[in-house]
Amino acid sequence: MRTYTGTRPLLAASTALGALSIATAAQAQDRTAGASPDDQIIVVTAERREQALTDVPQSVTVVSEATLERQQATSFLDYAELIPGLSLTQTNPGESRVILRGINTGSVGSTIAIYVDDTPFGSSSSLGNAAILAGDFDPFDVTRIEVVRGPQGTLYGSNALGGVLRFITNPPRLGVFEARAQGGVENVDEGGFGWSGNALVNVPLGDGVAVRASGYYRRSPGYIDATGRTGEDINDADIYGGRVSVLFEPTETLSVRLTAIAQNIRADSASSFDVNVATLEPVGANGRRTRVEFFPDANNVDYRLYNGTLNWDFGFATLTSVTSFGRLEQAQLTDNTFGVTPLLPLIALLYGSAVPLGLTQDADIDQEKFTQEVRLASQSPDSLEWLIGGYYTRETVNLFQQFLPFELPTQQFRPRALLGRPEFLTAALDSIYKEYAGFANVTWHITPRWDVSAGGRYSHNEQNSVQITDGGFQVLQGLPAPLQISGQSSESVFTWSLSTRFEVSDQTSFYARVAKGYRPGGPNVVPPGAGPDFPAQFSADTLISYELGVRAQTVDRSFAIDASIYYLDWNDILIFGSFPSAIGPVGANDNGGGARSYGAEVSATLRPIRGLTVQLNGAYNNAKLTDDTPLVTGGLDGDELPYSPELTANASVDYQWELAGGATAFVGGDVRLVGEQAGDFSAAYRLTFGRQLEIPSYEVVDLRAGVAFRNFTVTAYARNIADSGGFVALGGFGARPGGLAGTVIRPRTIGLTVGADF
């Protein structure tokens, strides 16, 4: 294994490299072992072993802890702008869809693999809604976020079509006591006040044991008002959690780390509001962002992750065993009254109600996932490096939905029994997913400046599902209640990668990579009365990526650049559509034809004078369908893939200088441009307007400033100072007053944070 001593010039090619720490002087010195950011080699684990970023032959962006603190980042939306080629949608805290290089069709299966250290998060199956439950972990006490673009099927397996996003947490530190605390307040324009607090402590327990614990609580203010019921700033949320990690190092060759992570999200109503389909303006009075809501919405999401990692150095190779268990629970209550308005008189008649009734939808998810991975990686510094491994996962997903009638004047639920059944209408979908995989990767250092790598992975998965529907409304339609339907599937997939990297000099290298990734197929439950076009099951979709890149910097490190171009060929794309049946429209997974994405990404760092850092990043992405999708989806050959802006760009400027008494002052700001993009596929919208739904471009300006004393830091920030109102989600045509539901980036937010180091 190569060692990184810092004597060799480093290609400073990531967004993290030029980051200015807003930590205290003592913190900054402690975290970098006395060296400045310019002297640090950025070590990543994107290829499942520690490597200098410059030695990785593919596109990787690293967002450092210092950058996250500088940005006051607490969620995906706060640091997404730092990552070229990344876009996302978010309608609720805990409900995010992450997209890399445009690989998205709006389906429920994820195209991005999410990891916390070596623990995979989210469902591998497309029956677990993984695409919109991406795991928006609070990044407090995270040493870095790694974003690896392009398919990662060889080392990460399924669902890494677009890439991998990894949260790398700070491990316990042996022999060091450390404590930090931070608190802040903020105000959202035309909304409420929020606050946050977090703290950590690192305690050594003898020579070979240390414990690190951290916790946080954040009150996110709302800025959406309700009509139909009384309510202001209804989209507020409380997000809190913590992490405990224990490190045992009984010898120099053996280490064991045990980690437990908990995060709870307690959100009220969604952050979407009713939008005029013609003007894309809010339908509320005086331009206020409002949503019609007759019953208070609620969305509770809980993450639980447990991980045990063993590393045993045998000299010639290191054995790594990673055992993890994760649980995701979501309980979501949504007012569905407006969407079923024509049925409300019938519902009131069935229940013999003298007052008008509304209808809510209760949707719960309970997902449990066990994984075991074993890797053996060579430690030899010779010309050949290798890694072999095996992987197993078993996950269960339980989905449960029920529709609950309530009285509109009082918001009281009605008794649920109807026509001899105990509930109005319920649906449960339980599934089991098992996957076995073996993988290997080898790198040949042909010369000191030329490497060639190859890898492969064989994966086999088996899935079973059972759907049970019940309720008086089903009896009313002449169907048996309860009604049980089963499905199953089995498939095997081989994925691979080939890459090469050539150093022209100590300051410049080029790389090329071609790789294949996949997302598992699976079974659908076929409802009664389904038509001949209803898919009984769907196949895996696959993607092959072709990529060229360059990393370079000047000798004095005053300028660095990281650039890549790519072409992605996506086949049997997974889509989600609504199909007719005897029990009404039923959502199901299906395969479309093909899609492709090509583009370019660039990140540059400039340090023209001491203390001044300028970072620029941008991406051009052209992602489109190459075939018509099934009619129920509404996508046609040549349509843009949803939420994949063709152009994005971000410019960040930071300057810091010394003050008397050892203090440091800093100021900075960001300007971000997001180009036009397509919204959700919608057959109804296309039928009405003859085209795709389009989302306008927008710009965002953020500012920050502060002072770092020896043990304290004070930071003031202003996000979205122009209150741009840029959409991060737009869709639901015909299901909302005005025609659409939209979600925008958070309005103008002003805040102050104070941190202390002990």
- pLDDT of 349 > 80? The answer is yes
Nearest one of 239, 233, 220, 278 to 94, comparing CA atoms:
239
- pLDDT of 131 > 50? The answer is yes
Task: Give this prediction's pTM.
Answer: 0.89
Largest distance between two CA atoms of the chain = 84
How many CB atoms are closer than 10 A to CB 195? 14
Q: What is the pLDDT of residues 326-345, one digit of tens each?
A: 999 999 999 999 888 888 99
* pLDDT reported for residue 25: 30
The DSSP element (H or E) to which 686 belongs, if any, is helix 683-689
Place of tokens 């397996």: 157
DSSP 746-757: ---EEEEEEEEE
Average pLDDT over residues 363-390: 92
| Phi, psi (deg, nearest 5) at residue 303 | -110, 140
- pLDDT of 9 > 70? The answer is no
* pLDDT reported for residue 82: 81
How many CB atoms are closer than 10 A to CB 120? 28
Average pLDDT over residues 279-288: 88
Contact 633, 683 (CB under 8 A): yes
* pLDDT reported for residue 322: 97
**Is the peptide bond prior to 422 cis by the omega test (within 30 degrees of 0)?**
no
Query: Which CA distances in Å does 52 have to 12, 45, 56, 70, 617?
Result: 11, 9, 7, 24, 21
- pLDDT of 282 > 80? The answer is yes
- pLDDT tier at 21, thresholds 50, 70, 90: very low
Average pLDDT over residues 571-594: 82
d(CA 135, CA 114) in angstroms, rounded, equals: 7
d(CA 669, CA 651) in angstroms, rounded, equals: 8
Least confident stretch, 17-31, 81-95, 367-381, 554-568: 17-31
d(CA 500, CA 453) in angstroms, rounded, equals: 6
- pLDDT of 14 > 60? The answer is no
Place of tokens 């307040």: 185
Average pLDDT over residues 362-366: 94
**Which one has a higher pLDDT value, 539 or 38?**
539
Rounded to the nearest integer, the mean pLDDT of the chain is: 88
Query: Which CA distances in Å does 100 have to 71, 87, 165, 175, 599?
Result: 21, 6, 10, 40, 12
Q: What is the pLDDT of residues 369-380, one digit of tens each?
A: 999 999 999 987
- pLDDT tier at 33, thresholds 50, 70, 90: very low
Cβ contacts of 140 within 8 Å, gap of 6 or more: 74, 198, 200, 214, 216
- List the chain domain ranges: 25-757
Average pLDDT over residues 125-151: 88
How many CB atoms are closer than 10 A to CB 248? 17
d(CA 357, CA 416) in angstroms, rounded, equals: 13
- pLDDT tier at 16, thresholds 50, 70, 90: very low
* pLDDT reported for residue 24: 30
* pLDDT reported for residue 385: 92
CATH label, 25-757, candidates 3.40.50.300, 3.20.20.70, 3.50.50.60, 2.40.170.20:
2.40.170.20
Q: What is the pLDDT of residues 202-233, one digit of tens each?
A: 999 988 999 999 999 999 999 999 998 989 99
Average pLDDT over residues 177-190: 95
d(CA 132, CA 106) in angstroms, rounded, equals: 9
- pLDDT tier at 141, thresholds 50, 70, 90: very high
Q: Which two tokens stand for residue 708?
A: 């770092």
Average pLDDT over residues 232-260: 96
* pLDDT reported for residue 402: 92
Nearest one of 310, 311, 458, 455 to 385, comparing CA atoms:
455
Q: What is the pLDDT of residues 619-632, one digit of tens each?
A: 999 999 999 987 77
Least confident stretch, 38-52, 252-266, 350-364: 38-52
- pLDDT tier at 705, thresholds 50, 70, 90: very high
How many CB atoms are closer than 10 A to CB 481? 20
* pLDDT reported for residue 27: 36
* pLDDT reported for residue 592: 87
- pLDDT tier at 30, thresholds 50, 70, 90: very low
- pLDDT tier at 713, thresholds 50, 70, 90: very high
By 3-state DSSP, what share of the chain in percent is helix, strand and coil, each rounded to 5?
10, 55, 35
* pLDDT reported for residue 126: 85
Least confident stretch, 97-106, 298-307, 518-527: 518-527
Cβ contacts of 369 within 8 Å, gap of 6 or more: 120, 123, 124, 324, 325, 326, 327, 393, 394, 395
**Which one has a higher pLDDT value, 672 or 35?**
672
The fraction of the chain above a pLDDT of 70, given in percent, is 94
Nearest one of 355, 331, 335 to 345, comparing CA atoms:
355
Average pLDDT over residues 382-405: 93
Kindly report the length of the chain.
758
